[in-house]
A and B are shown apart, each in its own frame.
Chain A
Amino acid sequence: MKGKGKAVTDGGKFMLRANDVSKTYGTREALVRAVDGVDLDVAHGETVAVMGPSGCGKSTLLHLLGGLDRPDAGELWIAGQRIDQMNERGLAAIRRDAVGFVFQAFHLMDELTAVENIELPALLAGRSPRAARRRAAELLDQVGLADRARHLPAELSGGQRQRVAIARALANEPLVVLADEPTGNLDSEATVEVLRVFDSLHQAGQTLVIVTHDSRVAATADRLVSMRDGTFVDETRLTGGASGRLGSLVNLDG
């Protein structure tokens, strides 16, 4: 998968690359240009925050970047591999191996325990049940929920659920993690728990794109992109202060 054997295009220099990407919904008078000619490059290990008012196209862009949806026009690369023309099976493989998604509404399987939710992508990728379980246990530990392995989502708090969802996104060691308002459903305490996890990911060099309404989250990224009506209106490189560390603003370091 990860780009080997493929002719490396100019998208290859970046982990993610969008070139004049557009997506519209509806027709005629009801036509909505959810994403309208967006260009975006995300480098290896970079954390990009996307902000903008509700309905400006942030989620749609994220879905396009991760192969959950296909653009109407434009080109998309993940680690040098072109994905905008891929068929559904190919996209499924991309989502499984190269991308980890974190959603605002968590989207855990209600009937599976925390550890089972986490190992789901690994099992789908054809790992042995034992290897998948070992990895899931590691990840649970990493997000601080080792003692909640056998709990159902309904038995976990919002912050815990979101940390399980992040662990699941990491199950197959994705090239990039895409998070859509990951703290949007959480109170400030749970937001801190989740930010702590993203912070450690950032430190570990994980490529991250986070859509957020929370300026505290946004201010800690390497780069902040502002969207309006489907297009990028502003781009800020955040290099000063905490050198982009997510944790510093919420005083994780004490």
Chain B
Amino acid sequence: MGKIVVIARLAIRDLLYRPAQAVLLLLAISAATTVLSLALALHGVTQHPYQQTATATRGPDLVVQLGGVQGPHKGVQSGIPSVVEAEAEKATHAAGVTAHSGPYPVADVAMRADGHTVLVQAEGRDQAAAAVDQPKVTAGSWVRPGGVVLEREFAEAVGATVGDRVSLDGHPYTVVGIAVTAAAPPYPNMCSVNCTIAFPPGVQGSNRVGLAWVDERDASSLAVADGGPPFYVLNLRLADPAQAEAVAGDLGVPNAFNVTTWQSIAAADGLLVQDEQQVLLPGAWLAGLLAIACVAVLAGGRMAAQGRRVGLLKAVGGTPGLVTVVLLAENLALALLAAAIGLAAGWLAAPLITSPGAALLGTAGAPSLTPTVAAIVVAVALAVALAATLAPALRSARTSTVSALAGAARPPRRRGTLIAVSRRLPVPFLLGIRLVARTPRRATLGAASVAVTTTGIVAVLTFHASVGERLGGASSGVTDPVVTRDEQMLLVLTVALLALAVLNAIITAWATLLDAGGSTALARALGATRSQLAAAIAAAQLLPAVPGAIVGVPLGVGLFAAANGGGGAATTFPPVASLIPAVLAILVAVTGLAAIPAWVGSRRPVTELLAQDAS
């Protein structure tokens, strides 16, 4: 009982006694937990929207695309070709099939809207409600002759609304409605699963095909005018949807162009959100690493002060175990708080980014923060705090009571060669090198932090370079919802990383200043000027930052390549014209931020610093 009071009291009082440090630490861990919460919140969304949409639109379990064979039907067009008719008959009577709709004719057309041209797969429908796949109209009305209904995500991408005039292969049409379906993945991913357009190999960028519905006769005449082989779509409902794969293999339709299961459509529906995860998860790792660096530097900076507390606790009878717990309790409490902040921020922000896209119904935001997600976020926050503080805590719990009391838990190391070399340098670098040499661990952490920040920034630049390349080919002026989302995620991530990097730079400079306090005061007493000392602290940050930034460049490109995986764009090295300014900006920022606490610190009178050993 008494011990718990002691532990809780020491933790809480120490936090309140040093609110600035507590806030810095809280911010650092919270930034990481927020990004992680967001990334994890996306995890549950993948299946959710498909289900809702499928229920609302009587989504098919199998979509069969028939035709595509150049044959006797070319040019002739009225009614469905007999080959297709026969195959459709067979498929609808296959074992396990309980209902169907179609076959509906499909025309691949070029749609011109608002000045840009997009490829569209136009499916012919009639007025009667279909038993399977009846797209749900969310605005306007259903198809009629001369009117076209656009898939919602696609309509948003081209900026089309009900009443707009568009042309399909040159023929004028009016947008009469906007609808959603579960029979095809939303724009721009339709062709990742089931489109009828056969692209020449290598034309990857142009496979952003839109989905539209027109009157059945309009579709047929558009298909004929196109001159290519006609296609038909047949939607099937199965007795056991789980068996979709097996049934698909047994349909007995050798001429089917394409048979798509609902599972692959559902998977493609999740692509938008998966893409976000591809951005956010590596980002969460980077943020976590930066948070560890921040906490480690903070904890390290407090080592001397903590050493005295440790010695004192031991002198009045605290056991090593108790001392360890006291040292950890504070940071673990902050980590728990940061986890709560991260989860709350994630919970608030999740609906913004987990909206499944316009093509699907329903929202999938808030409910996806499950107890599992909360547990992971809490565990990671605690791990961040532990990773940064366990070693110093154990070490100081083991130091001899006497030396802990003396506040010399870790005497600074002297690096003879470094100091000898630095003698020839200008004063700020001379002092800077000595400061670095005093605390090699902090210098390493500083280098690592800059490397992580640079990695994140360079990965973002690589994204822009690579995506720019991909879009360069098909610059139709149509927005790509995937790219738009990715850009939003990258913005969130860049802000989080920069915030952490700023925190890190300030904390590092503060810690350097703190334990350089005595020696810089001495240097001032011996005649170094204030600005020389501020410059020295800045130099002490700059020296490890340079190798960190250099290492971060290839890491950033590699991170993009790894996160991008097999998906989409090839990796394009960002142009030197953006790379060099970015790296220089990071270095200038780190150095400049370091100068703030250095300058503030160096304003304090020498005597005050020299006498800084009270109570």
A residues lining the B interface (CB < 8 Å): 63, 68-69, 88-89, 92-97, 101, 103, 105-112, 116, 120-129, 132, 153-154, 161, 168, 171-172
Residues of A within 8 A of B17 (CB): 110-111
User: Nearest A residue to B397 by beta-carbon distance?
Assistant: A88
**A63 proximity list for chain B (CB < 8 A):** 401-402
Contact, CB under 8 Å: B316 / A95: yes
B10 within 8 A of A: yes
Q: Is the CB of A93 within 8 A of B317?
A: yes
Among the 9-residue stretches B231-239, B265-273, B304-312, B473-481, the one with 4 or more Cβ atoms under 8 Å from chain A is B304-312
Nearest CB on A from B518, distance (A): 16
- Decide: B312 and A125 in contact? CB cutoff 8 A: no
Q: Are A132 and B2 in contact (CB under 8 A)?
A: yes
Complex CA gap A161/B615 in Å reads 8
Q: Give a binary string over B2-15; 1 marks a CB under 8 Å from any A CB, 0 the rest.
A: 11011001100110
User: Does residue B16 face the partner (Cβ distance < 8 Å to A)?
Assistant: yes
* B308 CB to nearest A CB, Å: 7
Q: Which of A88, A101, A110, A168 contacts B319 (CB 8 A)?
A: A88
B317 with A121: CB separation less than 8 A: yes
**Pairwise interchain contact B317-A124, C-beta atoms closer than 8 A:** yes
CA A92 – CA B315 in complex, angstroms? 8
* Docked CA distance A210–B5 (Å): 32
- Name the distance in Å between B325's Cβ and chain A's nearest Cβ: 12
Asked whether A120 lies within 8 Å of B316 as measured between CB atoms, the reply is yes
* 7 smallest beta-carbon distances between A and B, as pairs: A96-B317, A111-B17, A123-B2, A111-B13, A92-B319, A121-B316, A95-B317
CB-defined contacts of B316 to chain A, threshold 8 Å: 95-96, 101, 120-121, 124, 168, 171
Beyond A105-B615, A124-B317, list 19 extra A-B contacts (CB 8 Å): A63-B402, A68-B314, A68-B401, A69-B400, A69-B401, A88-B320, A95-B315, A96-B317, A96-B318, A101-B315, A107-B315, A109-B312, A112-B9, A116-B13, A120-B6, A124-B3, A124-B313, A127-B2, A129-B5
Q: Per a CB cutoff under 8 Å, which of B2, B9, B401, B613 touches A126?
A: B2
The listed residue (B2, B313, B400, B614) touching A122 by CB distance below 8 A is: B2
CB proximity of A21 to chain B, nearest CB, Å: 15
Q: Are A153 and B615 in contact (CB under 8 A)?
A: yes
User: A169 — nearest CB in chain B belongs to which residue?
Assistant: B316
- A154-B615 contact given A107-B308, A112-B13, A124-B6, CB 8 Å threshold: yes
Given the known interface contacts A103-B405, A161-B615, the answer about A123 and B312 at a Cβ–Cβ threshold of 8 Å is no
Query: Interface centre among A69, A92, A153, by most B CB within 10 Å?
Result: A92
Contact partner of A108 (CB less than 8 A), chosen from B2, B402, B615, is: B615
Other-chain contact of A89, B309, B319, B615 (Cβ < 8 Å): B319
B76 interface residue per 8 A CB criterion: no
Q: How far is the CB of B615 from chain A (nearest CB, A)?
A: 5
A168–B316 Cα distance when bound, in Å, is 8
With both beta carbons as reference points, the residue of chain B lying nearest to A152 in the complex is identified as B17
CA distance A97 to B314 in the complex (A): 12
Of all chain A residues, the one with the shortest Cβ separation from B613 is: A105
B198 contacts chain A at the CB level, 8 A cutoff:
no
Residue of A nearest to B323 (CB): A92
In the complex the two chains form, what is the Cα distance from A69 to B401 in whole Å? 7
B5, A123: Cβ atoms closer than 8 Å:
yes
| A92-B405 in contact given A116-B9, A124-B6 (Cβ < 8 Å) | no
Partner of A109, one of B2, B309, B317, B402: B309
Tell me whether A69 and B1 are in contact (CB under 8 A): no
Q: Does B543 contact A (CB under 8 A)?
A: no
Q: Are B615 and A110 in touch, CB under 8 angstroms?
A: yes
A111 neighbours in B (Cβ, 8 Å): 10, 13-14, 16-17
Compute how far the CA of A96 lies from the CA of B309 in the bound complex, rounded to whole angstroms.
16
Q: Is B322 part of the binding interface, using a Cβ–Cβ cutoff of 8 Å?
A: yes
Which residues does chain B contribute within 8 Å of A106, judged by CB atoms?
615
Q: For the complex, what is the distance from the CA of A69 to the CA of B1, rounded to whole Å?
A: 28
**Chain B proximity of A29: nearest CB distance (Å):** 18
CB interface residues, B 586-615, toward A, < 8 Å: 613-615
Task: Please list 19 pairs of residues, one from A and one from B, whose beta carbons are closer than 8 Å in the complex, sorted by A's number.
Answer: A68-B401, A68-B405, A69-B401, A92-B319, A92-B320, A93-B317, A96-B318, A101-B315, A105-B615, A107-B308, A107-B312, A107-B405, A111-B16, A120-B316, A123-B3, A124-B316, A124-B322, A126-B3, A153-B615
Instruction: Looking at the assembled complex, report how far the CB atom of B399 sits from the nearest CB atom of chain A, in whole angstroms.
Output: 11
Interface pair A92/B318, CB less than 8 Å apart:
yes
Once the chains are docked, how many angstroms separate the CA of A142 from the CA of B5? 25
Collect the chain B residues with CB atoms within 8 Å of residue A127's CB. Answer: 2
Within 8 Å by CB of A68, from B5, B9, B402, lies B402
A105 to B315, CA, bound (A): 13
Closest to A63 in B: B402
CA distance A112 to B313 in the complex (A): 13
Closest to A64 in B: B402
Chain B residue numbers with a CB within 8 Å of A123 are: 2-3, 5-6
A92 touches B615 (CB 8 A): no
The docked-state distance in angstroms from the alpha carbon of A172 to that of B13 is 23
Say yes or no: A95 contacts B312, CB within 8 Å: no
Q: How far is the CB of B145 from chain A (nearest CB, A)?
A: 81
A125 B13 Cβ-Cβ under 8 A: no
- Asked if B2 contacts A125 (CB within 8 A), the reply is yes
Residues on the B chain within 8 Å of A126, using CB: 1-3
Interface contact A128-B309, CB-CB below 8 Å: no
CA distance A126 to B322 in the complex (A): 12
Scan B108-140; emit 1 where CB is below 8 A from any A CB, else 0: 000000000000000000000000000000000
Interface bits B443-467 vs A (CB < 8 Å: 1, else 0): 0000000000000000000000000
Q: Is the beta-carbon distance between B315 and A68 smaller than 8 angstroms?
A: yes
Most chain-B CB neighbours within 10 Å: which of A68, A89, A127?
A68
Q: Which A residues lie within 8 Å of B10 (CB)?
A: 109, 111-112
Whether the pair B319, A97 counts as a contact (CB closer than 8 A) is no
Contact yes or no, B615 A128, CB < 8 A = no
A168 to chain B, nearest CB (A): 7
Chain A residues closer than 8 Å to B9, beta-carbon distance: 112, 116
